[in-house]
Structure 1
Amino acid sequence: MKKKKEKNLTEHGMPEKDITSESYLQTVFRRFKKHKLGMISLIVFIILGLAALFAPVLAPYDPNEIAGSFSGAPSREFLLGTDQIGRDVLSRLLYAMRISLLVGIMATLISTVIGVVLGLIAGYFGGAADMVIMRFTDMVMSFPYILLVLVAAAIFKPGLWSIILILGFVDWPGIARLVRGNVLNLRETNFIKGNLVAGMSLKHILFSEILPNTVAPILVYATSVLALSMLDEAALSFLGMGVQPPTASLGNMLNGAESLTVLTKQPWLWVPPGLLIVILVMAINFIGDALRDAVDPNSK
């Protein structure tokens, strides 16, 4: 008995944690922590997200205030310099990150809700509903993605909520196909058939039995949609079809760096927003990779 007790102690004299008693979320978090890039990316994303959330507190100036000289170089007063009309670049960068994250998160939520609902209906009911939804999904996916976004942006008035709605209503097909595939597999399982025999309501089966077993792949896919939405917002704003000045976004901050003079002699106008886009997108992608490994039951 004594030997058995000693065997269950760690090298520091503490009892080993019994992983068989872990909940699913605890198991996922334990696996996620083993992914070093994922953890670093999560910390970076949280820091940047908090900086964007508290932009009114952290920003040294109002983002639209003309506070210094035109195109002023970085200095003690203006850490990242000023733009072409004398606005503080650091202040605008914090507010721009806020806009980009808002667009990405809201567009992802809209596309996820649409994709999940359509995928559940198509996968569970099958038949005519499945055929209509999937043919419509195929039609949307047959159009070049960026062309579809550009056409929609050209039709509707440019602005923050226009971009959110456009991206939200364009990004759903991938999620719908993913959910449909999972539902097709789940509806043939014994526990779903048992619920049907027991007379459980359709609402209970779809949202209490099937959907929770589909959440993991949805979350993983949603991270890629989030990164893509932020890139699309930056591209549309750079082209003048997204968030409109004077509201700052990472895309329209890059819009002012089109001339050769700015590119070569005023890097503080385009390097910070460009670098921030790269960091945010890479962090989200690494988080998605770590999350995929963490929810995969075959992951070692």
Structure 2
Amino acid sequence: MQNLEKLQEKLGYKFKNLTHLKIALTHKSAKNGHNNERLEFLGDAVMDLIVGEYLFKKFSSDEGDLSKLRAALVNESSFSKFAKFLGIGENLNMSLSEERNGGREKPSLLSDAFEAIMGAVYLESGLQNTARIATAILEILYPRISFNELVRDYKTALQELTQAKFGVTPEYILLGSSGPDHKKSFEMAALVGGKRLSSAVGASKKEAEQKCAQIAIELLQNGASHGTSATNSEQTACGDAQSGANRAQDGKKGSRNGGGRVRGSAKSDRAGTSGGTPSVTYAPERNKNAEQNGRDTDKQGGGDQGDAL
């Protein structure tokens, strides 16, 4: 049951045309003519600008740090928090099957609906009013916005952990992508020692890799306690990573040892020819002996011919 009055009160904005809000809350599974995808597209761009301007005015950081901060705030996880704060889930219009699959709690659906609402507010009242609403919610949910709080480099942390634990560095592979061009999702997997340890979906490959690394760190840290807090699947993943890393290390050692044996064999061969009876006669030496014998025979043959003349 929709309670649009309560939602608008929490939002701090009363729609001039309630149809805009209803469309913003309509998932495509409802199949009733209109859905929120177009408004979501607009809201995504509006929120990107609003958060970008907010951070620009609040911080004196360089472009790289500002971009990382914005990426930490403008994403599915963050916007799903905005949606839960507003109570969007209970007001979504979707199919019965989608609802049974937990659609009202899905971060992707909540995030999309929040962006659609911001797009609808922008259409009705412009950028300034939309920015006022969005930044008010932002400051409630993120009272302390700082680089250290929001931007964690899980990939670097995972690399340090796997190098210390296994002696190898993690790899990341793309499992697939989905969604429209303006809002693609990428699924990445983190591999340790050639074994898949974790996978995650993000709005970009980098975001998905960070999520993979975060999950992998939690799995490895849980696994390190010998299963006291890790599930069976997590222990299996950690075990696979450990065995894969061990094989990778053994392969490297074997390659180095193999090279040593080849050099050692060559040394022993040379030692055999340097004194006493040679254990191995090299092909070049046999060729030289054959050539020498050939010349001796030629000389003898030449002497016989001279005597005949």
Tell me if TM exceeds 0.5.
no
Larger % of strand: which? 2
Looking at CA atoms only, which structure, 1 or 2, has the larger radius of gyration?
A: 2
State the TM-score bracket (shorter-chain normalisation): under 0.3
TM-score, L = length of structure 1: 0.21
